[in-house]
Amino acid sequence: MSSGAAAASEGEPAASGRPVVPELPVVPELPVVPELPVVPELPVVSGLAVAPGLFVTLEGGDGAGKTTQAALLEEWATGQGRRVVRTREPGGTDVGVLIRDIVLHHRGDVSARAEALLYAADRAHHVATVVRPALHRGDVVIQDRYLDSSVAYQGAGRVLGPGEVRDLSLWATEGLLPDLTVLLDLDPAAARARRDADDKPFDRLEAEQDDFHARVRGEFLSLAAAEPERFLVLDATAPAEEIAAAVRTRVAALLDARTS
């Protein structure tokens, strides 16, 4: 066999005089990656750092007048030149609104642990994305219900122990406790009369019997007795303006202490 034929197949000039180009390997086609949409970042602020704002929560049985007092306090604090964030649990975020619907309106039983976890999940997201960022900005956060509601309703009212429910919430919030908790104390019979007069459909917890609400009230009062510095207990049957004045006095003192 002639050696000339072998040389031509390896790029040497062929008989025609043109070099033979070796065949290129086939490159597999790259998959096209679609562009990802830009998701606006939530301002997640994690615990431990000292926050300059003021965190006020309102607690009490259903129908105790928390919403009225939150509105009066907001009006006053705004008038003092403070930036205010009014919020609530459950349902202070978009995720929380979905959770609120489950815990308040789901038909049929939700197991006690599942219910406690749902409230804690709502709280974890709310604190990380709304409450802590506001406190870090120096705002006054006025919030309808917080972890004391979980202890009172899921702890005392249900089958779980108050201590474990509280620990769950403290884990969820990286230990965030309010600077002030206003407890609007109301006898369950009076609360029921107010709710009946409201003419709104009852949610799952409102529909519970009076002895459940009596246990909830008892638990709120023992929480207040255990932390007298954090709690301000007020008689919810007093005139709204009188209650508001007592709340303002405490909040003003806390704000003064921060600025002095």
Binding residues (CB under 6 A) for ligand TYD: these are: 62, 88-90, 104, 119, 144-145, 149-150, 153-154, 203, 205-206
> 89 or 139, CB closer to ligand TYD?
89
Give the per-residue SS3 of 71-111: HHHHHHHHHCCCCEEEEECCCCCHHHHHHHHHHHHCCCCCC
> 87 or 154, CB closer to ligand TYD?
154
> 207 or 257, CB closer to ligand TYD?
207
Per the CB < 8 A criterion, the answer to whether 215 and 157 are in contact is yes
Per the CB < 8 A criterion, the answer to whether 142 and 98 are in contact is no
> 160 or 244, CB closer to ligand TYD?
160
Of all residues in the shown chain, the one whose CB is closest to ligand TYD is 153
Strands 84-88 and 54-60: unpaired
Separation between Cα atoms, residue 151 and residue 133, nearest integer Å: 25
Taking the complex as a whole, how short is the minimal distance between the CB of residue 166 and ligand TYD, in angstroms? 11
Q: In what order do the strands lie in the sheet with 180-185?
A: 84-88, 140-144, 54-60, 180-185, 231-235
Q: How far is CA 142 from the centre of its chain?
A: 13
Taking the complex as a whole, how short is the minimal distance between the CB of residue 104 and ligand TYD, in angstroms? 6
Taking the complex as a whole, how short is the minimal distance between the CB of residue 83 and ligand TYD, in angstroms? 23
> 8 or 104, CB closer to ligand TYD?
104
Taking the complex as a whole, how short is the minimal distance between the CB of residue 85 and ligand TYD, in angstroms? 17
